[in-house]
Amino acid sequence: MTTNKNVLKFVDEAVALCKPANVVWITGEEAQLEELRKEALATGELIKLNEEKLPGCYLHRSDPNDVARVEGRTFICCDNKEDAGPINNWMDPKEAYEKVGAIFDGSMKGKTMYVIPYSMGAVGSTFSKVGIEVTDSIYVVVSMKIMTRIGTKVLEVLGDSNDFVRGLHSKADLDPEKRYILHFPQDNTIWSVNSGYGGNVLLGKKCFALRIASYQGKNEGWMAEHMLIVGIQNPQGEINYITAAFPSACGKTNLAMLIPPKSYLEKGYKVWCVGDDIAWLRVGKDGRLWAINPENGFFGVAPGTNKKSNPNALYSTMKNTIFTNVALDPETNTVWWEAMEKDTADKKKPAYLIDWKGNPWTPDSDVKAAHPNSRFTAPAINCPCISSEFEAPEGVPVTAIVFGGRRAKTAPLVYQSRDWNSGVFVGSIMASETTAAATGAVGVVRRDPMAMRPFVGYNMADYFAHWIEMGKKTANQPKIFNVNWFRTDDEGNFIWPGFGDNLRVLEWIIKRCKGEVDAKEVAIGYVPNAEDINIDGLDIDVDTVKELLSVDKETWLEEVKGIKEFYAQFGERLPKELADELAKLEANLSK
């Protein structure tokens, strides 16, 4: 399929190591993919769903021990440990190739190896990058078809260049003790073994588009970020694009495709989704930051998605979608997950389902029917509000960058940083409660700078420095904000309605960028005057908004202690600008 010697050498080496029975090059043609889906149906790897209700859709179940990213087993393998930094796990590259090479050795005996050429970003665009993933999983092939652009056309664009990311994946025995997700940034290489869960094995996504790409971006002067990209069109037809970094399972997909509240729809507001998880950002000729979404589909959290919370996401999953670890309704051969009951007339859960593990389930069962990290893999073009700029080679210009996390207290509904460097500081001190997107405890607050803690491919302190550098290169900087949709009352209920109503906060953000609204300066930056958040049609009052916007000095002084501890681990490598911002914050709070 190619005469590119670098590609052929990479594949030959993978064959020599994994020893598959045969090798299939993925052309991207529908007939080949359809054959593979049929094969996966025969082995049970895929289950065909109701063709009338969910045309072209399949259910996949991953091994119950393999349902989320495994941060403890994810490594950055670069020559110097210090270059991986204190947040990443590090392994010496030589040791890693040897140790994990032994696990790959013969791992595809008797199996077929698939070679998937793929492009992150529109094929052939100057901002796009090529990867080749070698895998023994049909699930990976058919999912990569949805999440990226694949096939012969990508090899044509690559020509005889050596500029591609080498990805090697084998499910091997799915042994969690031998599961490794390795990144070799200096070699443009990713090795993933003993997993079949999307985030660990769809190597174009987090492994390439964030971990490897963040390293490339540092060296090449651009940024790879864990951000959604959304366009807000006002009644005059003007569109402002916002990128937002929230940690895993903290609302990116939801914000990226929100439905405006009724009063906004009536006024003529529209929302356009460019991306829901990853943004690559470059400085344009006009001195603004421009963002592309390198992906071609959504790998979204299923539970919680319903007609009220995110109808656009739900609609996106109605055809040509692969569902992973959701429940099956055997009567209709359709899928189900928690919160879908809210869409029914009686608000009741189905009387009988097959749960995500394949076991019988009733509403009396004491387990969830769908795994909390069950996902849909849906083509972006299915999304009713997909932006006309989705494939624009140069991307869209960014008006505002928004950071945010899950904080029950501390962070107000929204605040604005004073300038770029204070905005980098705001991103660097992000903290959020952990979610089911990664294995481990859920609901524990941890620092997750720029929502990149699990995804930065080099030393986090150098990553902060890169952000500061990018600010210097950007003549027309976007303004930087922080939001928190997750403040709770004393009973633990979310105070802010969230979802579509988050547009009310985005409206304030855009007005701030255009200098159309005042704000109140407080210790951490600028917060809105409560009257400036539009609450028409909501059943909360302005006092509640005041409460949501409050910044408690004592809580923030505690926060400063936590930030100091967090920063301490970076030692001398922490940019001085951030140490200065921290000192400023402490001084402001002590006034």
CB of 299 vs ligand SPV, minimal distance in Å:
5
SS3 assignment, position 112: strand
The C-alpha atoms of residue 108 and residue 96 are separated, in whole angstroms, by 19
Rounded Cα distance, 271 and 255, in Å: 10
Please give the full DSSP string across 200-265, using - where no structure is assigned: HH-TIIIIIIIIIHHHHHHHHT-EEESEEEEEEE-TTS-EEEEEEE--TTSSHHHHHTPPPPHHHH
Mask for 471-500, x = binds ligand GTP (CB under 6 A) = --------------xx-------x---xx-
3-state SS, residue 21: coil
* 3-state SS assignment for residue 1: coil
Site string for ligand SPV, 215-254 (x = CB under 6 A): ---------------------------------x------
Can you give the three-state secondary structure of 252-315, one letter per residue?
A: HHHHHCCCCCHHHHHHCCEEEEEECCCEEEEECCCCCEEEECCCCEEEEECCCCCCCCCHHHHH
Tokens of 39: 């094969």
One symbol per residue from 431 to 470: x for binding ligand GTP (CB under 6 A), - otherwise; what is it? ------x---------------------------------
Rounded to 5 degrees, what angle do the CA atoms 292, 182, 326 make?
70
φ, ψ of residue 304 in degrees (nearest 5): 95, -20
- Establish if 433 lies at the interface with Mn ion (CB under 5 A): no
Position among 136, 225, 277, 448 found at the interface with ligand GTP (CB under 6 A): 277
Q: How far apart are CA 376 and CA 178, in angstroms?
A: 27
Q: How far is the CB of 386 from ligand GTP (least distance, A)?
A: 16
Binding at 502: pick from ligand GTP, ligand SPV, Mn ion, none (beta carbon under 5-8 Å per type)? ligand GTP
The CA distance from 190 to 212, in Å, is 8
- Residue 57 falls in the annotated catalytic set: no
Give the tokens for residue 271: 């929302």
- The option from ligand GTP, Mn ion, ligand SPV, none interacting with 246 (CB < 5 to 8 A, set by class) reads ligand GTP
Q: Tell me whether residue 78 or residue 278 sits nearer to ligand GTP (CB atom).
A: 278
- Residue 69 CB, shortest distance to ligand SPV, in Å, is 5
Candidates 84-92, 197-205, 228-236, 358-366 — which segment interacts with ligand SPV by CB under 6 A? 197-205
For Mn ion, the closer of residues 326 and 533 by Cβ is: 326
Q: Which of the residues 18, 57, 77, 250 is marked catalytic?
A: 250
Q: For residues 289-318, which are near ligand SPV according to CB under 6 A?
A: 299
- At residue 173, the 3 state secondary structure works out as coil
Q: Which is nearer to ligand GTP, 86 or 498 (CB)?
A: 498
Q: Indicate the SS3 state at residue 581.
A: helix
Q: How far apart are CA 546 and CA 568, in angstroms?
A: 34
277 lies in the site for Mn ion, by CB under 5 A? yes
Going by the DSSP 8-state scheme, the letter that residue 538 receives in this structure is -
Cβ closer to ligand SPV: 437 or 480?
Answer: 437
Site for Mn ion in 229-268 (CB under 5 A): 248
Q: Which stretch binds Mn ion (CB under 5 A): 274-282, 372-380, 418-426, 478-486?
A: 274-282
Closer residue to ligand SPV (CB): 118 or 556: 118
437 in contact with ligand SPV (CB under 6 A)? yes
- Residue 250 sits in the site that holds ligand GTP (CB under 6 A): yes
Residues 6+ apart with CB under 8 A from 514: none
Q: Which of 313, 309, 376 is nearest to 342 (CA)?
A: 309
423 binds ligand GTP (CB under 6 A): no
**Residues annotated catalytic, as ranges:** 250
Can you give the binding site for ligand SPV, defined by CB under 6 A? 69, 198-199, 205-206, 248, 277, 299, 437
Can you give the binding site for ligand GTP, defined by CB under 6 A? 246, 248-254, 276-277, 300-301, 303-304, 309, 437, 485-486, 494, 498-499, 502
Can you give the binding site for Mn ion, defined by CB under 5 A? 248, 277
